[in-house]
Structures are given as C-alpha cells and as structure tokens.
C-alpha cells in the first residue's frame, strides 16, 4: 500500500469528524432566517481549505450568499483542475420525519445521517480530505487546483454566473471536476460524461376575443383548445420521433461502443418503469429506455390549460389555450438555433381562425465530454484503482444548471464523479451518506488528482 | 280593428303598470337574502293570474322557491296550451353600472329599464295582458290554458322536474308555449323551432403514478398531456367533421326549404364573427355559419388541464391530464346512445402507456318541432297578423334546459315565441325591454291563443 493510501486509511475518523463539523451548520440557502448560518458555513469551509494548505482563500460576497474561492498553483507545467461544489443545503422540513435531527450528524448502520451528508457537503469534504492527504504525505498537490464552492446551488445559483464571468481568466483551467452525482450501485462507481440540455417554450393559442357560449357559437369559430391539441399531437409521429423540421440535424448518433456500454450496465428497466407507475415503457422506436433518456431528444408537455377547469360542466368555448412544451436536447443540438424552427413549425400547424404565439421561456445547452478524452480516462483509471473495477460510463437525462453555466463561461472538459446512492434521500428527510461512499470517494479523488497530473 | 286589438291598444299603459309592479320585487333566486322577495313575487304573480280570471291558482312550495300554477279549462273541445315562464331574475350586480336602480323600473327612449324587464317578467306579463284582454273582451279564453311560472330558472330549475313529473297528468296539454327567446330584429319576429342538445364529457388520462422529472424520465414513458392532445386532435377531421363512429347516423339533414329559409334570413355573418373577435369563421365544410350553429353537431373542448400551469418553467412530466369535451347534438341524435360510442372511441385513441377514463357529466336532448306542425303554423299566423310580416323560422344553437325537461316529461310540440332583442342586456346591468316588443308581443300572444284555438 502506498503512503497516500496508507494516510487515507489511517485518518478515516478524522475526515468524518471534519465533515460532521460542517454538517452542524444549518446553511439552508433558501430560508432568510438562515442567512447568517450560510455566511458562517462559507467561513468554515474557507477556514478548512486554508487549514489543508490552500492559498489565496477568499469568502467572496455576492448579491446573495458568498462564494468560497481557493487555489494552489504550485505545480508549474502540470495541468490545472477547477473543482466545483456547494456548501448550502436544502431545507430540512418536514422535521418530524427525521429519525435524528437534520443538523446533528448521526452514524447508524455505516451511514452518516444529516442534511447535506451527501448533497453536497459530504462530497465537498471528500475533496478536502483528499487534498489534506496529498499535502500531509507529499507536502504538495500533484497538480494545480482552483476551488469554487458556492452557497446558492439549492436556490438556483443566481449569482454564480456573474462570479464566473468576472473571474473568467482567473478561473481558467484544463478540466472541471464536480462531485454532485451518483454511483450506479454501492460497489459500482460511475462517471457521467453527458447531460441533456433543454429548450422550454410556451405555446399560446387565441381564438375568439373572449369566452363564448358553446351553444350559441360552437361550430362556427375555431376552438383554441382543439387547435392547441392539433398542434401538440403533430409535434411527434407515431414512432415517438419529434417532427420539428431539423430537429435531428445536429443530434450526435450514439457510437456502437456507447450502445454496447449502455447495454452492459446493470440497469433494471422493469424496476425503473415500475417506480414511475406507468403501465409500460414507451418512447422513440429503435432505442432502449436508457438511450431514450440519455441520448435522444424529447418533446414533452409540462403543463397545459384552457377554459373551465373546475368541477362539473360549463358550456364555454374558450378564448385561449396554452401549453408549456419543452424539448430535452442532446449533443450537439443548439437551443438557440432550434427555437425559431420550432416557432415557425408550430405556427404552421395552427388551424385557421386562431393566432399562435410561441415564447422561449428557457434554454440550456446539452453537455458532453468525449468518453475517450484524456481527462476522462484519467478519472476512469482513478476509479478503477480505488474500487478495483472500471467505472460505468453513463449519461444523465436532466441538465445540471451549473454545468450549463460552466459550458457557457469556460467550455472545458468536465469530470462528473459523484458518490451518492439512489437511496440517499437527497432533498428529503433522513438524508444520508454511506461511509463506503465517503471513504471510497475520498480515495478515488486522491487518485484522481494523481491521474490528472499524469494524464495531461 | 277588432275588439280584441282595440282593447290591447287602449290598455297599453295599464299593462305597463302591471309589469312595473312585478319588476319592483327583487326576486333574485340565487341570493339567499332575497328568499322572502322571491316568495312575495310568486304570490304577486299568483294574485295577478287570479285577477285576470285564471282558476285553481296555486303557489306550490318546492324544496327551493315556489312554482306558480294556474289554469282555465272552460273551452271543452278546444286544444289545451301549457304556458311556461319564470318570475325569478338574475342578480343585479354590479350595481354601480346601472343608470337607474335595477328594481325601480324606469322608462327611457321607449324602453323600460329594470332587472327582469325582458328576462322573463316582461315576457310573462305580455301573456297576462293578453289573457286579460281576452277575458275582458270575450269573458273567456279561446282555448284551455295551463300556466307554470317557476322561480328557479336563473338558479338551474333544480326543483322543476320533480314538479312536472308529479303533475305529469294534470299538466297534459297539446302544445307548450314559452316566451323567453328573442326576435331577429326590432321589426322582425321569429319563431324558434329547434334547439341543440348536448353530451358533456370529461376525458381523464393517467400516465405515471406521480409527476416525474422531465429530464430523468422524459422520452421513456408516455406523457399523458401529449396523449390527451392526440385524442382530442383525432376527434375531428380536417373538414371539421366529428370522427366519432356513428356520430352522424341520426343527424336529421336540413331540408332544402330550411336551407333556403336560413339563407334568406337577414343574418350578418361578418358582424356575427366580428363580435366574437375570432379572425375568421371556421367550421364544418359544406355548411353556412347559421347551419353549423343551428343544425350540425360539434365537438368542442370546454376546458383542459395538466401539469404545471403557473408562471415560468417547471420541468415536470405530469402524471395526469384531463379535458372537458362536449358535443352539441342535433335532432335526432341521442346523448345516451352516443356516450358509450364516444367512450369506446376515445379509449381506442389512447396511446400505449396511459389509462383513459371517460366520464359522462351531463346530457340534454336536442329539440325540434316540425316547421309545418299545425301548432307552429298557428304561431306563424299570429305573428304575421301582429307584425304585418311573416316570422323568421329559426333554430338556436344552445339548449334551453327547461325545454329538455319538458321533452322528457311531456314530449309535446313547443312554440318558442319570444320578443327579446339582442341588446336587451339580459343577465347584465341596464337590462331593458323595448315597448315595441312589449306591446307587439302582447298583441302577438293574444292572437296566438286565437290561432291555436282554430288550428287544432
């Protein structure tokens, strides 16, 4: 066993104690009553970063909660990693559902229970532990490191983009490292190399200038709710493909290796669909459920409304109908390019007798780091060393908003290496972090910094 | 000028005074504070019926407001008419928009302003005036008459059906007369011989058991809102025809005479559509706007809802979507027969991965009295005598709920002979009744009773 690994094994209890101290601070970013706790937590994290040997440690005020910044640039010629995490947590309510209090970290059955145990203080403190190990064993880090730990992730990261833009140059790096995702199973590490983006629109259909009596006028004018249904129905064909012209032009096809890799994953489709309560899986023809979620675009209604929606019957021919319709986008789709095409197509689908407005409510780019990118391969090696098995290379179907921001401000390859488990109760009562995740993750991260240093 | 007409001309002011007295009673049936006023109004109408010489006058208690009943059966061998009207009125609010107080009837520019002036006290008192004229001039009525004046029309006629059923035999007649509709213009009387019925349903589509994250699950399971749109879009074809199998099986085709009659009406389609605010008229191919409203079935969404309908964007894949969908029905369609066909068709249109429930919320039969029915022809003659021009034979696109009830309890031919005008502000502030309508209507009704007596 090398000295680094030995140090990591010998200091498990200390690492856990360090984490527990941070968990005792109720840094709930969305609750004004905790504003001072959030500030105190930022200072606590900054102090811990200083204690492990990071330099230029700052608690940077923003219009909201502060960002903690630190760096260590003592490895000239070596690559520079930019670590992102967050020290704020979700509200703990409902409190009565917690077995032990959310801000009194408690060990039970090899799991540490507390709000933030996994999301994201637990994962941030794995990095601090790994850094401490390098510093103690070697007196230095194997590469250059910049650290950004924000305090508003659970509140929408409203002020992060400004911070990243203002410090664009200072934060320049070769790779971004984020530990805020999950493993595939307790003994199966995973690396997420792709996320979907989104184009979120609102379709508004207006027919008559005011609601009409459906008896006195029904049949003579176009009903905007019927017209909206015609539009939405036409957005996909019978095979589950989106019919917007050009929708698939930039969709990057899965490689045979990716499809083979997904197929080999221990994914229980039956259990997955059962958990949704839907009677059967259904989606784009020719793709598996994982492929549909991870690598194919969608077109889903998120909300829809028109006319009378109370109890019983009201004979109204509504003046207005609207739907929120969003498309999950995959690499290399571009939400800005797609919106005008979507808008033109929806307007073309409009029945005579209605006017249609399409609003662009929100867009986020998809994200992909090539699975064979040297930085990602460094992470593959680190995880394989730590867990004695290669990590699963996965994607996720959602967006991580902060990744979209990093994409826009820095556009770097990114390692999403997280150690959560599906039953960690993130955002719910009894949040926990398993000690095997915590210690295995710390070891993985210590190796990651070594491997990244080699791999550049 | 015959004696009857002379009497009518000579007593205009008295008729108006009689009406005004009734208008001063705020018989607002939906407002509990006016319960005693409603009862007082019933008694007032009963007293007036007694005063004109009706017999067996009753104020019949119900679970809600009373029904006023009266009869005169002194013409053996002659036909029996059943007159229906209502003495309750809509709430007058908002009061500040009335030029003169709603329950102080005021004459301005040849119009009588008051809540109920047209709907329906004004039209009921035309009948009382006509009866009075017959009694004064001839000492009798030319036919047998039964009178039902209810007090809950503006509150849904909840207790009328029970009354009609319980007195099924007592109320037997040859024809029903209702004055609660409108003229085509101030100098153009109209007879409505057809109404549409309705089948009002609710379609409920369930996909997943709970709302899902549209990123983590989008593409893998059927979205119930998209599935609902597919169903609704398929309910009509591109020509505006309803696609429910068997929908048109019982639809009575318009006769060439009817189509010719509708075409000849002074109907300003442009103005009609302009009033709705819809950019263009649009409906079933091969039919005019009047034909579409009066004589063709529809399939309209009255309400629709699913998922997130607040401000901004929420990335939810909803568990549930629903729509209220109603079909206006025309003679001889049968809502009870149609519902199971509709239900089966909607379920057939359901995408894989959702379950669909179709609820029958409400049904009402369409109504038609043949235009050449002797009773209707009697009304045509009466109106022609009174206005010196033949009445327009029209239909209406809505239902009159009480007509549906009469259809079910008695199934008689029916004369809908009303004298409202489109600008009478029925159900709105500054309700009015024009004196030309009131006096012309009274004369028409007096002649109607004569003509009905002849026509049988």
What residues in B contact A278, CB-CB < 8 Å? 207-209, 221-222, 353
Euclidean distance between CA atoms B7 and B2, whole angstroms: 9
Instruction: Tell me: do B181 and B213 sit in the same domain.
Output: no
H/E/C letters for each residue in chain A? CCHHHHHHHHCHHHHHHHHHHHHCCCCECCCHHHHHHHHHHHHHHHHHHHHHCCEEEEEECCCCCCEEEEEECCCCCCCEEEEEEECCECCCCCHHHCCCCCCCCEEECCEEECCCCCCCHHHHHHHHHHHHHHHHHHCCCCCEEEEEEECCHHHCCCCHHHHHHHCCCCCCCCEEEECCCECCECCECEEEEEECEEEEEEEEEECCCCCEEHHHHECCECCHHHHHHHHHHHCECCCCCECCCCCCCCCCCCCHHHHHHHHHCCCCHHHHHHHHCCCCCCCCCCCCHHHHHHHCCCCEEEEEEEECCCCCCCCEECCEEEEEEEEEECCCCCHHHHHHHHHHHHHHCCCCCCEEEEEEEEEECCEECCCCCHHHHHHHHHHHHHHCCCCEEEEECCCCHHHHHHHHHCCCCEEECCCECCCCCCCCCCCEEEHHHHHHHHHHHHHHHHHHHHHC
Inter-chain contact A313–B298, Cβ cutoff 8 Å?
Answer: no
Instruction: Tell me: do B88 and B212 sit in the same domain.
Output: no
Cis omega (within 30 of 0) for bond into A94? yes
Q: Could you tell me whether strands B67-72 and B55-60 are parallel, antiparallel, or unpaired per DSSP bridges?
A: antiparallel
What residues in B contact A262, CB-CB < 8 Å? none
Task: Please write the tens of the pLDDT for every residue from A111-162.
Answer: 999 999 999 999 999 999 999 999 999 999 999 999 999 999 998 898 999 9
pLDDT of residue A132: 98
CATH number at residue B390: 3.40.630.10
Residue A277 falls inside a structural domain: no
CATH number at residue B210: 3.30.70.360
pLDDT at A455 over 80: no
Q: What are phi and psi of B174, to 5 degrees?
A: -100, -25
Inter-chain contact A273–B220, Cβ cutoff 8 Å?
Answer: yes
Strands (E), B298-431: 300-307, 316-317, 320-329, 355-364, 367-368, 392-396, 414-416
Residue of A nearest to B242 (CA): A219
Look at residues B362, B378, B393 and tell me which one is the last residue of a structural domain.
B362
Inter-chain contact B278–A308, Cβ cutoff 8 Å?
Answer: no
Instruction: Tell me: do B207 and B321 sit in the same domain.
Output: yes
Instruction: Tell me: do B371 and B358 sit in the same domain.
Output: no
Inter-chain contact B293–A216, Cβ cutoff 8 Å?
Answer: yes
What residues in A contact B316, CB-CB < 8 Å? 302-303
Cα of B193 to nearest chain A Cα, Å: 15
Look at residues B362, B391, B416 and tell me which one is the last residue of a structural domain.
B362
Residue of B nearest to A269 (CA): B220
What does the pLDDT average to over B372-385?
Answer: 96
Task: Please write the tens of the pLDDT for every residue from B159-183.
Answer: 999 999 999 999 999 999 998 888 9
Instruction: Tell me: do B109 and B125 sit in the same domain.
Output: yes
Is the separation of the CB atoms in A178 and A86 below 8 Å?
A: no
Instruction: Tell me: do A184 and A242 sit in the same domain.
Output: no
Euclidean distance between CA atoms B393 and B381, whole angstroms: 12
Look at residues B362, B381, B406 and tell me which one is the last residue of a structural domain.
B362
Residue A378 falls inside a structural domain: yes
Cα of B319 to nearest chain A Cα, Å: 9
Tell me the percentage of chain A whose pLDDT exceeds 70.
100
pLDDT of residue B12: 97
Residue of B nearest to A292 (CA): B219
What does the pLDDT average to over A338-342?
Answer: 98
Task: Please write the tens of the pLDDT for every residue from A193-213.
Answer: 999 999 999 999 999 999 999
pLDDT at A411 over 70: yes
Phi-psi region of A320 (alpha: psi -120 to 50; beta: other; left: phi over 0): beta
- Half-sphere CA count of A355, side-chain side, radius 13 A: 9
Inter-chain contact A230–B225, Cβ cutoff 8 Å?
Answer: no
Instruction: Tell me: do A213 and A151 sit in the same domain.
Output: no
Domains identified in chain A, total number: 2
Instruction: Tell me: do B302 and B355 sit in the same domain.
Output: yes
Residue B382 falls inside a structural domain: yes
What residues does B395 pair with on adjacent strands?
Answer: B194
Residue B24 falls inside a structural domain: yes
What residues in B contact A223, CB-CB < 8 Å? 300-301
pLDDT at B456 over 70: no
pLDDT of residue A400: 83
Q: Output the CA torsion A261→A263→A269→A271 (10° steps).
A: -60
Cα of A271 to nearest chain B Cα, Å: 13
Instruction: Tell me: do B352 and B218 sit in the same domain.
Output: yes
pLDDT of residue B61: 97
Residue B55 falls inside a structural domain: yes
Task: Please write the tens of the pLDDT for every residue from B185-235.
Answer: 999 999 999 999 999 999 999 999 999 999 999 999 999 999 999 999 999
pLDDT at B402 over 90: no
Task: Please write the tens of the pLDDT for every residue from A239-255.
Answer: 999 999 999 999 999 99
Instruction: Tell me: do A218 and A110 sit in the same domain.
Output: no
Inter-chain contact A396–B281, Cβ cutoff 8 Å?
Answer: no
What residues does B206 pair with on adjacent strands?
Answer: B320, B355
pLDDT of residue A89: 96
Euclidean distance between CA atoms B342 and B332, whole angstroms: 17
What does the pLDDT average to over B335-342?
Answer: 97
What does the pLDDT average to over B328-357?
Answer: 97
Q: Give the model's confidence band at A456: pLDDT under 50 very low, under 70 low, under 90 confident, else very high.
A: low
Write the CA distances from B222 to A98, A219, A234, A298, B346, integer angstroms.
35, 31, 15, 11, 16
Residue A266 falls inside a structural domain: no
Handedness of CA B95, B98, B99, B101 (dihedral sign): negative
In a mutational test of the B interface, the residue from A158, A304, A319, A395 whose CB has the highest number of chain B CBs within 10 Å is A304
pLDDT of residue B438: 98
pLDDT of residue B7: 98
Q: Could you tell me whether strands A355-364 and A392-396 are parallel, antiparallel, or unpaired per DSSP bridges?
A: unpaired
Cα of A373 to nearest chain B Cα, Å: 25
What does the pLDDT average to over B98-117?
Answer: 97
Inter-chain contact B352–A280, Cβ cutoff 8 Å?
Answer: yes
Residue A278 falls inside a structural domain: no
Task: Please write the tens of the pLDDT for every residue from A157-182.
Answer: 989 999 999 999 999 999 999 988 88
In a mutational test of the A interface, the residue from B198, B213, B220 whose CB has the highest number of chain A CBs within 10 Å is B220
pLDDT at A334 over 60: yes
| Cβ-based contacts under 8 A for chains A and B | 294
Inter-chain contact B306–A303, Cβ cutoff 8 Å?
Answer: yes
Instruction: Tell me: do B357 and B374 sit in the same domain.
Output: no
The pair of three-digit structure tokens given for residue A85, joined into one six-digit string? 């995490």
Is the separation of the CB atoms in B136 and B6 below 8 Å?
A: no
CB under 8 Å to A14, separation ≥6 — which residues? none
pLDDT of residue A190: 95
Residue of A nearest to B197 (CA): A215
* Nearest CB to B301 within list A213, A226, A297: A226
Burial class (CB in 10 A: 0-12, 13-18, 19+), B176: buried
Output the average pLDDT for chain B: 95
Task: Please write the tens of the pLDDT for every residue from B291-303.
Answer: 999 999 999 999 9
Inter-chain contact B308–A303, Cβ cutoff 8 Å?
Answer: yes
Instruction: Tell me: do B185 and B166 sit in the same domain.
Output: yes
Residue B97 falls inside a structural domain: yes
Q: Could you tell me whether strands A67-72 and A55-60 are parallel, antiparallel, or unpaired per DSSP bridges?
A: antiparallel
Give the structural domain span for B349: 197-251+297-362
In a mutational test of the A interface, the residue from B203, B262, B299, B300 whose CB has the highest number of chain A CBs within 10 Å is B300
pLDDT at B455 over 70: no
pLDDT of residue A2: 95
pLDDT of residue A422: 85
Inter-chain contact A313–B361, Cβ cutoff 8 Å?
Answer: yes
Residue of B nearest to A280 (CA): B353
What does the pLDDT average to over A29-56?
Answer: 97
Inter-chain contact A306–B301, Cβ cutoff 8 Å?
Answer: yes
Is the separation of the CB atoms in B448 and B379 below 8 Å?
A: yes
Q: Count other C-beta atoms under 10 Å from residue A416's C-beta.
A: 26
Task: Please write the tens of the pLDDT for every residue from A376-397.
Answer: 999 999 999 999 999 999 999 9
What residues in B contact A366, CB-CB < 8 Å? none
């Amino acid at each position: 066993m090398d000295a680094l690994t030995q140090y990591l094994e010998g200091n498990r209890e200390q690492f856990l104690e360090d984490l527990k101290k941070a968990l005792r601070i109720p840094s709930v970013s969305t609750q004004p009553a905790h504003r001072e706790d959030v500030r105190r937590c930022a200072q606590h994290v900054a102090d811990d970063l200083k204690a492990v040997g990071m330099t230029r440690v700052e608690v940077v005020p923003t219009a909201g909660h502060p960002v903690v910044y630190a760096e260590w640039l003592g490895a000239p010629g070596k690559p520079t990693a930019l670590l992102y995490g967050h020290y704020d947590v979700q509200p703990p309510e409902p409190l009565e559902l917690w077995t032990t209090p959310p801000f009194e970290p408690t060990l039970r059955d090899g799991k540490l229970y507390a709000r933030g145990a996994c999301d994201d203080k637990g994962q941030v403190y794995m990095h601090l532990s790994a850094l401490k190990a390098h510093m103690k064993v070697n007196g230095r880090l194997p590469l250059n490191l910049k650290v950004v730990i924000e305090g508003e992730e659970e509140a929408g990261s409203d002020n992060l983009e400004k911070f990243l833009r203002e410090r664009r140059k200072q934060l320049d790096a070769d790779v971004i490292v984020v530990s805020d995702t999950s493993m595939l199973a307790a003994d199966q590490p995973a690396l997420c190399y792709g996320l979907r983006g989104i184009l979120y629109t609102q379709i508004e259909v207006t027919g008559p200038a005011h609601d009409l009596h459906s008896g006195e006028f029904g049949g003579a004018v176009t009903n905007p709710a019927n017209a909206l249904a015609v539009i939405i129905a036409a957005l996909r064909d019978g095979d589950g493909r989106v019919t917007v012209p050009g929708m698939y032009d930039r969709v990057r096809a899965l490689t045979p290796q990716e499809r083979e890799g997904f197929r080999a994953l221990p994914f229980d489709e039956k259990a997955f669909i059962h958990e949704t309560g839907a009677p059967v899986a259904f989606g784009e023809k020719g793709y598996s459920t994982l492929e549909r979620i991870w690598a194919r675009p969608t077109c889903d209604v998120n909300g829809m409304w028109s006319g009378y929606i109370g109890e019983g019957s009201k004979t109204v021919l509504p003046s207005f109908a609207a739907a929120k319709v969003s498309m999950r986008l995959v690499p290399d789709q571009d939400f800005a390019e797609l919106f005008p095409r979507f808008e033109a197509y929806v307007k073309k689908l409009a029945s005579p007798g209605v006017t249609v407005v399409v609003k662009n409510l929100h867009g986020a780019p998809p994200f992909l780091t090539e699975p064979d990118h040297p930085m990602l391969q460094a992470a593959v090696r680190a995880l394989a060393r730590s867990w004695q098995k290669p990590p699963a290379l996965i994607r996720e179907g959602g967006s991580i908003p902060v990744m979209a921001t990093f994409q826009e401000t820095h556009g770097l390859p990114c390692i999403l290496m997280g150690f959560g488990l599906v039953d960690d109760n993130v955002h719910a009562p009894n949040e926990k972090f398993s000690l095997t995740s915590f210690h295995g993750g710390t070891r993985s991260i210590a190796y990651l910094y070594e491997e990244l240093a080699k791999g550049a």
